[in-house]
A and B are shown apart, each in its own frame.
Chain A
Amino acid sequence: MRKFGVVLLHSYLSRLKSKSFMITTALFLIFIMAVGNLDFILNLFDGDGSADQVAVIDETEDIYPWLSEQVEQGEHGFELVDFEGTVDQAESDILDGQYVGLLSLQADDQDYFIANYHTDQLINPSVQNQLDNYLQQYKVALATNEAGIDQEVIESIYQPIAFETIAIETADGRTARSEEEIGVARGLVYVMLFVLYFAVLTYGNMIAMDIANEKSSRVMEILISSSPPISQMFAKIIGIALLGLTQIGLFFVVGYYMIERVQDELVGGFFEVFGFSEIAVSTYVYAVVFFLLGYLLYATLSAMLGSLVSRMEDVNQLMMPVILLIVVAFMLSMFGINMPEASVVTITSYIPFFAPLVMFLRVGLLEVPVWEVALSIGILILTILLLAYIGAKVYRGGVLMYGKGSSLKDFKRALQLAKKDK
């Protein structure tokens, strides 16, 4: 057991102290801080604070005051300026960069008015779309006014209708989850999906890399002559898991701090927006359970595959199926997040490789009977044990095996090497 600790500590510390780990973590933290301070950074680039200006030549004389007011109220990041001069003058000013565009409005007998927008920036159509919208409204107002319809009537026509969904209570007093609850759970499921996906890809790969590295540097032979391969494999898995928790923990702490800081700017704060506080405790517990089981499952698989290759270059090739599995799981759950009751979601929530994501999604979004969850967790644990058993055997033989290797044949060879054929 002492040696288990030594290996665990070594895999944890040697990674923690490595430059690549520090750099990745630092980059991530910078990224989180950047996102947290996005408003500030964007303002920095807008610099002088003077908004883009759109020149307007209004021959109707009526539209400009109204439109200018609308644009100002809408806060679209540009403002209108009454331009005194010819179209040609305005165009040359646009090319000089003084204005982003020119809106010229002419009265028209048939269509009330005609609008032309001159610009040298066709890539970003947001300004002309906004102007188009307002002018459309203005035209409707003009037309309805002419037809003698009251302004209030128009407003009530445009008012959205009241549409609310009401969950029906069942006999035992339970209701289906309300829309708010589901929205909230969906937020948590999203977070969990990304974290688990990220963790499996990153740390699973790390484990496989570590083992392949020990094999290619041949230090493995010394290691397994000092302590049992099985204990080494699990020490490594847990060591990397601790590393992952350290890293993710760090992200969460910094992320939480950033959210706290900018909280006031967000309406009601992040946690209320996603509504994390409204989720049942059991959902959190499930999140932790499924995360740990999911990690263990994929980590064991990675360790097993890592022990089969003898060069670092082969790791990626062998990790391909693992990555495909987690990608499929991810896509299933992305689909399931909108249709949690689809039968494909129900079925895949029992398949161990997908269960951590898909079953958690079901638990989060639906009322799933406890036995179903228990069954899924049971299958998951059984699979992990089975994989650990096979993995330990393959590991024992695989670490002594050197060659081109990365096929099923090697898998068999490794098992054969490990076999106690006495």
Chain B
Amino acid sequence: MSLHIENVTKCYGKFTAVDQLSLDIPEGQIFGFLGSNGAGKTTTFRMILGLIDATEGKITWEGEPINYQRTDQIGYLPEERGLYPKLKVKDQIIYLGRLRGMDKKEILTELNKWLERFNITDYLEKKVEELSKGNQQKIQFISAVIHKPKLLILDEPFTGLDPVNVELLKNAVVELKEQGTTIVFSSHQMGTVEELCEYLCIMQYGKPIVHGALKEVKRSFGKKNLFIHADFDLSFLKTIDGVDNQKLTPEGCILQIENEDVSQAILEQLHQKGFVRKFALEEPSLNDIFIEKVGESYA
């Protein structure tokens, strides 16, 4: 196991930001951190980076805690844009790259490669404050990966980007993973997490409420989604045993059912009623799991 978080607790005074968190983040994988605002994601990241010390427990990477001797192997993209607004892109990356132990020539070759990849080669000599938010985020991303880190921590990398750029960045992340980088990232966008992560963790009030491999998480959730399009009124389905939730759509409804078997009972009921255009049983989305789990603990 590459990154190992063991019974970690962080208290700020009386407030407990992270409570007894234990996670194993496998090497060479993408690990997604989900959680509502204030769930303790950023605090966890900061503890992994060694910026703040855990009140209890320990975090190790390849068997040792992360300290300043090893920061050259770690890339970090903070939640908020963290760049010098008045500095040119080039100077900016050179400075941050040198702080990660690279020399200037290396940095410039890498930087040009990345700029080309993101189609922003004209920005080399521009000040960061002149760039759009999305392009700033690309520069931020470059600054996090320019030194080819072995462990990459991305705190909400995709916020504020248009779909085209999200795609661009996602591809870059996947490529880094294929090159063997261990990637930990947090996001509010469930779709992205579902697409990228094999492993994930949903946090709430500093505690992991769901965690494990994505497939496992979905399977153990048990509930399924049933999509039905039909010509007649479907509201009667709500009363069937095993239906947890019904959402009416213009063409029919989406049902959340407790398990697969319920779908067959529904199918029988529909059979007698009339024309059914669509009847599809699907895995729950991460969004459903998140809302259900996080919503539960709110109540």
Contact = CB atoms under 8 A, between A and B. Distances in A.
Interface of A: 2-3, 6-7, 10, 14, 18, 213-214, 217-228, 400, 416-417, 419-422
Given A227-B68, A228-B68, A222 B78 contact: yes
Size band of the B side of the interface? 20 to 34
B68 A222 contact: no
A419 B55 CA distance: 10
Interface stretch (B92-100, B113-121, B158-166, B252-260): B92-100
Nearest to B95: A10
A214 B82 CA distance: 8
Contacts of A2: 101
B76 interface: yes
A221 B83 contact: no
Interface string B162-183: 0000000000000000000000
A422 B53 contact: yes
Interface string B82-124: 1111110001000110111100000000000000000000000
B265 interface: no
A226 B95 CA distance: 11
B276 interface: no
A218 B96 contact: no
Nearest to B13: A416
B180 to A, nearest CB: 21
B80 interface: yes
A219 B84 contact: yes
Given A225-B49, A400-B52, A218 B81 contact: yes
A225 B71 contact: yes
A420 B71 contact: no
Nearest to A14: B87
Nearest to B78: A221
Contacts of A217: 81-85
A362 to B, nearest CB: 44
A226 B82 contact: no
A7 B98 CA distance: 9
Contacts of A220: 82
Contacts of A421: 53, 55
Contacts of B100: 226
B78 A3 contact: no
B74 interface: yes
13 contacts: A3-B101, A10-B95, A14-B84, A213-B84, A219-B82, A219-B83, A221-B80, A223-B99, A225-B76, A226-B96, A227-B99, A400-B46, A417-B12
A3 B83 contact: no
B248 interface: no
What is the interface of chain B mostly: helix, strand, loop, or mixed? loop
Contacts of B144: 222
A417 B99 contact: no
Contacts of A14: 84, 87, 91
Contacts of A416: 12-13
What is the interface of chain A mostly: helix, strand, loop, or mixed? helix
Contacts of B76: 221-222, 225
A422 B91 CA distance: 39
B143 interface: yes
Contacts of B82: 217-222
Contacts of A222: 76, 78, 82, 96, 143-144
Contacts of A417: 12, 52
A421 B10 CA distance: 10
A420 B78 contact: no
B248 to A, nearest CB: 44
Contacts of B86: 18
A118 B87 CA distance: 65
B292 to A, nearest CB: 33
Q: Across chains A and B, which 3 residue pairs bring their CB atoms closest together, nearest first?
A: A218-B82, A226-B99, A219-B82
A7 B52 contact: no
A228 B66 CA distance: 12
B95 A420 contact: no
Contacts of B83: 217, 219
Nearest to B91: A14
A219 B128 CA distance: 12
A224 B99 contact: no
A219 B51 CA distance: 14
Given A7-B99, A221-B78, 14 more contacts: A3-B98, A6-B98, A10-B95, A14-B87, A214-B84, A219-B83, A221-B80, A222-B143, A224-B51, A225-B50, A226-B72, A226-B96, A226-B99, A421-B55
Nearest to A421: B55
Interface string B50-76: 111111000000000000100110101
Task: Indicate the member of A213, A221, A224, A421 with the most B CB atoms within 10 Å.
Answer: A221
A226 B71 contact: yes
A219 B96 CA distance: 10
Nearest to A7: B99
Nearest to B50: A225
Contacts of A422: 53-54
Nearest to A232: B99
Contact of A420 (B53, B84, B91, B99): B53
B163 to A, nearest CB: 25
